[in-house]
Chain A
Amino acid sequence: MTPPTADELGLRLCHHCRLACDATAQHCPRCNTWLHRRKHNSIARAWALMMTALILYIPANVLPIMHTSSFTGDSDTTILGSVVTLWLDGAWDIALIIFIASVGVPVTKFLVLGLLLLTVGRGSERSRRDRTRLYRGLELIGYWSMLDVFVAGLLVALVQFGALGSIEPRIGILYFGLVVVLTMLATMSFDPRLIWDTEPHHE
């Protein structure tokens, strides 16, 4: 037995305060937010934001994120470089955390969002429940890839004096931060209800 949908009952969900509103109303009577049946241009916006993020993800990985200078010389670190260094130093646990946050999470987001956008675009009716679950996963991992940005900030703030040399942020980390923000915006633009809109109506 499937529950009725908001469309069938002439209702709309208010995104802000979660009130069930009459579908003829333009604003939520409780919080006055503009009501939409579905997010506007959901698919086009999510695609655009995701593709931009995907393009910026290249310089984020290729360009250095930090510059270290000390007695032993100057060196530039990339994201993957710092993971490898940590791994070789024996700090495999920290290496793993950084790898998951900086590579695992963004790549998963690209793959999952791409899959959702493709299947919704084709009006696929397969495994809707699992795809909705994937979307909730996307929301959950949202900002955790910001980790490396904060680590960079803290390292630069702590190590800024003679004896140990100095650390400066480099442009790669900026691209990386933008990737995180853009993928978050892309996830928010996607409307998971589109996954269910293909359901054949048999009442």
Chain B
Amino acid sequence: MSELSDLIICEYCDAVYQRPRLHAHQRANCRRCGGVLARPHLFHVDHLLALCLTAVLLVVFLGVSPVLVIQTQGQAHPATLFDAVWALTRGPTDLLALVAGFSVILVPLVQVALMSWILGFAHFRQKAPGFRGCMRTLTSLSPWSMLEVFLLGALVTVFKITGRIEVLPTLGLAALAGLSLLIIGMAGRDIHRLWDELP
């Protein structure tokens, strides 16, 4: 077991290597297929916890704050993430509202919740109850989190209707950008280290 955990297998071509010792800014690539085998971690576990709490605050903020507001005839019309997803239930596209709701609301919410749970315990060098299940869920969910696509969508929308109406980007948009970055950085790569580091 201890021997096996020193080995690293390329997920793209099955080549086997000894786990390398990496310095900051170094990256181990597979000699056979060129895939990334290992990269150094960006953050310490406790830093991850701090970032995760930031993510929780951003989630709460995004729950109530609009990502875009348009102004017509002196009236402001805001749209939150939820409004944008809900709008897809109008017309024959209910199913799509489910897909969108899953990928920009449910998945990020679950990701942040699971990460807080796991990292909260990791702070005390412990495995959270249900650690395996939480980690597996995080791995399976990460390809389906689409906040960053939504962010680009919001920017495109601004340009699409500017000229006809006045669009005001809001703090919500900035929060969305921050949350996307946090989720990509944590759920996508750094949280994985907990498999190796927790007893």
The interface of chain A, by Cβ under 8 A from chain B, is 2-7, 9, 11-13, 15-22, 29-33, 67, 86, 91, 93-94, 97-98, 128-129, 132-133, 135-136, 139, 142-144, 146-161, 163-164, 168-171, 173-174, 177-178, 181, 184, 188, 192-193, 195-196
Contact = CB atoms under 8 A, between A and B. Distances in A.
B26 interface: no
A181 B99 contact: yes
A156 B95 CA distance: 16
B197 to A, nearest CB: 12
Interface in B167-199: 167, 192, 195
Contact of A157 (B1, B16, B79, B99): B79
A153 B73 contact: no
A164 B72 contact: yes
B12 A18 contact: no
Given A18-B9, A193-B13, A160 B96 contact: no
Given A6-B16, A157-B79, A169-B87, A18 B192 contact: yes
Interface in B53-106: 67-68, 70, 72-73, 77, 79, 83-88, 90-93, 95-97, 99-100, 103-104
Contacts of B84: 150, 153-154, 156-157
Nearest to A156: B87
Interface string B1-17: 10011011101111111
Given A132-B34, A163-B73, A151 B195 contact: no
14 contacts: A3-B31, A16-B140, A29-B1, A31-B132, A94-B159, A128-B13, A132-B13, A143-B144, A154-B87, A155-B160, A158-B68, A161-B77, A169-B96, A177-B99
B139 A156 contact: no
A35 B91 CA distance: 44
Nearest to A192: B12
Interface in B7-60: 7-9, 11-17, 30-35
Given A2-B31, A132-B35, A177-B100, A18 B195 contact: yes
Given A13-B11, A17-B136, A195-B13, 4 more contacts: A20-B8, A144-B149, A149-B88, A174-B93
B129 interface: no
A144 B19 CA distance: 33
B195 A168 contact: no
Nearest to A90: B163
A38 B12 CA distance: 11
Nearest to B157: A154
A6 B144 CA distance: 29
Given A152-B88, A169-B91, A196-B13, A16 B135 contact: yes
Nearest to B12: A192
Given A6-B9, A16-B136, A157-B79, A150 B100 contact: yes
Interface string B121-152: 00000000000100110011001101001101
A184 B34 CA distance: 23
B159 A18 contact: no
Contacts of B83: 157
Contacts of A93: 159
A185 to B, nearest CB: 10
Given A9-B16, A154-B153, A154-B154, A164 B165 contact: yes
Contact of A153 (B16, B35, B85): B85
A150 B14 contact: no
A19 B192 CA distance: 11
Contact of B161 (A21, A142, A158): A158
A40 B149 CA distance: 30
A161 B79 CA distance: 13
